[in-house]
Structure 1
Amino acid sequence: MSKVRWKPGNLIYPLPAALVSCRSKTHGDNLITIAWTGTICTNPPMCYISIRPDRYSYDIINESKEFVINLTTTQMARGTDWCGVKSGRDYDKFKECGFTKGEAEVVDVPLVNESPLAIECKVVEIKELGSHHMFIANVVSATVDDKYLDDTGAFNLNQSDLICYSHREYRKLGQKIGHFGYAVKKLKKKPRRKKIN
């Protein structure tokens, strides 16, 4: 097997296809599709989004210092893409895509009700990195769709038909192939059968 060397670039895929909602007194409510997002710390819970400064949502989040990361599903795919190519300067994205606004617990930003998981964030730092600026944020609340809660109260996010973004394509997440720690989990010994005399 041979390898081909490419120039340096962002080829870490797949990534979340997240709808980030935001609100400011100056610009109102908006949605932006973000793939450059992820977890950066567990305790305290922190995450980030990276946005180009020329995007309409950049000024909104820079002003309010709040946003919500809404994970997306196959049913939300067309609207998710639309929100990534159209500007909130020209459209009410909630209205155009048929997404409904929910009420956040902590931040003054609408949730996307169709999302199975909404993560409320407060910005603590903005890093100007080049083409994108990184908004580093504390996670201050999370809202889950109760139809993905089982009888024990466990949240089954993987049953929500999540999508991801991979090399300019939206992809449906596939089947389970393992779980955290399965590679080192000890197999349970089968109980010995008692001999009958």
Structure 2
Amino acid sequence: MGKQEWKPGTMIYPVPAVLVSCGSEPDKTNFFTVAWTGTICSDPAMCSISVRKSRYSYDLIKAGMEFTINLTTEDMARAVDWAGVRSGRDYDKWKETGLTASKGVKVSCPYIKEAPLSIECRVKDIINLGSHDLFIAEVLDVLADDRFIDDTTGAFDMSQARLIAYSHGAYYKLGDQIGRFGWSVKKKV
């Protein structure tokens, strides 16, 4: 059993398939698909998105210094793909996908009503990386859809939300839970 050597590339998969909404002017909002996103700090809560400078939303985020990361579901998969291959310069993505823009709570840009979880962010720093800029942001608010809150525990039920991921050109629905944090070292009773 060997390993093939490939040229350097972005092969860290799967990644979340999220829709990032942005734009603070009511007639100039947009959302676009982002796969390069992640948590970067827990206290204070911070995350990042990596955005190609040529994207229409790049300038909207830079102007408002805010964005919302919207997790996506199997039901939203077609809109996720469509929003990643069509530009907000040419289309009204809200109208074309049927997704609903809802007024942000702690930011001036909208969140997507259909998203099971929306994470409102304020940009703290922008790092030029080459083809993309990394937007480092503080999390200001997390909006969780009541439909996915467990009545007993009050926790967000990820399996009920049917989240999707992106892996090397394809979308996948997330599977069954196979363990919980710390289960590998938990003492057996």
Give the TM-score of the pair, scaled to structure 2: 0.97
What residue identity is the alignment partner of 1:150?
A: D
What residue identity is the alignment partner of 2:53?
A: P
What residue identity is the alignment partner of 2:97?
A: C
Per the alignment, residue 161 of structure 2 pairs with: 160
CA contact 1:27–1:60 (8 Å) conserved in 2 = no
Per the alignment, residue 140 of structure 2 pairs with: 140
What residue identity is the alignment partner of 1:125?
A: D
Q: Which has the larger radius of gyration?
A: 1
Q: Separation in 2 of the partners of 1:14 and 1:84? A: 17
Aligned length in residues: 188
Per the alignment, residue 121 of structure 1 pairs with: 121
Q: Separation in 2 of the partners of 1:26 and 1:117? A: 22
CA contact 1:116–1:157 (8 Å) conserved in 2 = no
Per the alignment, residue 178 of structure 1 pairs with: 179
Post-superposition Cα deviations, 1:61-110, rounded to whole Å, max 9, x if no partner, equal: 00000000000001000000000000000111011000011222100111
Q: Separation in 2 of the partners of 1:110 and 1:26? A: 9
Structure 1 stretches of 5 or more lacking a match?
A: 189-197
What secondary structure is seen at the aligned counterpart in 1 of 2:75? Answer: helix
Q: Separation in 2 of the partners of 1:136 and 1:85? A: 24
Give the TM-score of the pair, scaled to structure 1: 0.93
Quote the offset at 1:158 in angstroms. Answer: 2.7
Q: Separation in 2 of the partners of 1:98 and 1:140? A: 27
Is the aligned partner of 1:104 residue 2:104? yes
Structure 2 stretches of 5 or more lacking a match?
A: none
What residue identity is the alignment partner of 2:159?
A: N
Post-superposition Cα deviations, 1:19-61, rounded to whole Å, max 9, x if no partner, equal: 0000133971101100010000000000000101110000000
CA contact 2:159–2:176 (8 Å) conserved in 1 = no
Quote the offset at 1:172 in angstroms. Answer: 0.5
Q: Separation in 2 of the partners of 1:72 and 1:27? A: 24
What residue identity is the alignment partner of 1:143?
A: L
Q: Separation in 2 of the partners of 1:126 and 1:39? A: 16
What residue identity is the alignment partner of 1:52?
A: R
Misfit runs of 4+, over 6 Å: none
What secondary structure is seen at the aligned counterpart in 2 of 1:94? Answer: helix
Q: Separation in 2 of the partners of 1:66 and 1:27? A: 16
Q: Separation in 2 of the partners of 1:157 and 1:103? A: 24
Q: Separation in 2 of the partners of 1:130 and 1:158? A: 36
Percent identity reads: 56
Q: Separation in 1 of the partners of 2:90 and 2:19? A: 18
What residue identity is the alignment partner of 2:162?
A: D
CA contact 1:120–1:140 (8 Å) conserved in 2 = yes
Moved more, 134-143 or 27-36: 27-36
